[in-house]
Amino acid sequence: MSIFLLLLAVIPVLLVGYTFWRVRQISRDFKPDGRFAVVDGVKLHYHFYSAEKERGNVPALVFLHGASGNGYDTRLAFLKVLKGKYPLLFVDRPGLGYSGRKSFGQDTPEGQAHLLAGLLEKLEIREAIVVGHSLGGAVAAALGMIAPARVQGLVFLAPVSHPWPGGVNWYYTVASMPVIGKIFSWTLMMPIAERLAPAAIGNVFFPDTAPEDYIEEIKVPLLFRPDTFQANARDIAQLKKAVTAQSERYSSLSQPALIVSGTQDTVVWPSIHCEGLLSALPEAELVMLDNAGHMPHHTHVSCITAALDGLVRRIRAEEGMASVSDHCQRSVERA
């Protein structure tokens, strides 16, 4: 019995020691390479790229990543194909990547949208199209309602926007708890998450495959740091309640909008979120990509960038533009 009690005492200490060691390694190996801005006392990390001068007055594209990610995800997908064409802003949402978080009020889409609206003001971005993936779609919708004059268009990629049946994975519920969550995040989470990450990424991309070196390119280990993992867990645990209230106000979003999702998305149900947005948003267009999963911005990027161009022309009311769905349908057929 004494050996058993000794193990009960020693194992948690070893797990905390391992987590502390890995956090130091991750901090050493993954350094921020973007810029920082302080908004309402919160340090936000971002990458900004200007458009080429000859492009004239074009709106900035503001990219908001989903849960369990950071701004490097959307940057990996869109930077090469859009650099120079539009001003591009890739942001680590509050609490994730290298961005900080000050209070529990910033674990909702609306709370994060207020900070991001402050960032757009600080960066003097007066005309923007906000592109939100997954949970970032809920933040994009909130930002569109908070700053309608600044947000001229909205793009929802495999978005979360409405309440869904059931809850969330148990470990997010546990990790979101103030005391138990901190214990869990400093003991069991790190060694488990590191080993399950490749399979989890495969499930998110299914039936597509992730880009080569995806884990390294988007700095996935940043998520495993206890404070970051808890912030992410709170985002997810609070999300259903938040979108239940938020979705009642979507009809106020009068901006032109594009909704893109895959027919094989097993992470977020298009039948709930995409069709819900389509019925609620007066100026929305829905594009479904055949056989695409939850990460279409990586697997169908040519389609989405063509659709973005179409949305810009739609906002600028240019004549002779093709339908956004026409662009995407051709891209899907070539895929």
pLDDT tens, residue by residue, 90-145 = 999 999 999 999 877 899 999 999 999 999 999 999 999 999 999 999 999 999 99
Q: Which residues of 319-331 are buried (b: 16+ CB within 10 A; e: fewer)?
A: eebeebbebbbeb
Both structure tokens of 300 = 């169908």
Inter-residue long-range contacts of 247-252, CB under 8 Å, 24+ positions, other chains counted: 247/161, 247/162, 247/163, 247/276, 247/280, 249/145, 250/141, 250/161, 250/277, 250/280, 250/281, 251/280, 251/281, 251/282, 252/145, 252/148
Compute the Cα dihedral for 327, 328, 334, 335 and give only its sign.
positive
pLDDT tens readout for residues 66-77: 999 999 999 999
- What is the DSSP secondary-structure string of 233-280? HHHHHHHHHHHHHHGGGGGG--S-EEEEEETT-SSS-HHHHHHHHHHH
* pLDDT tier for residue 52 given thresholds of 50, 70 and 90: confident
Return the amino acid letter for 184. F
Return the CA Rg of the chain: 20
Q: Is 326's pLDDT higher than 60?
A: no
Tell me the CATH class for 2-318. alpha beta
Q: Is the peptide bond before 270 cis (omega within 30 degrees of 0)?
A: no
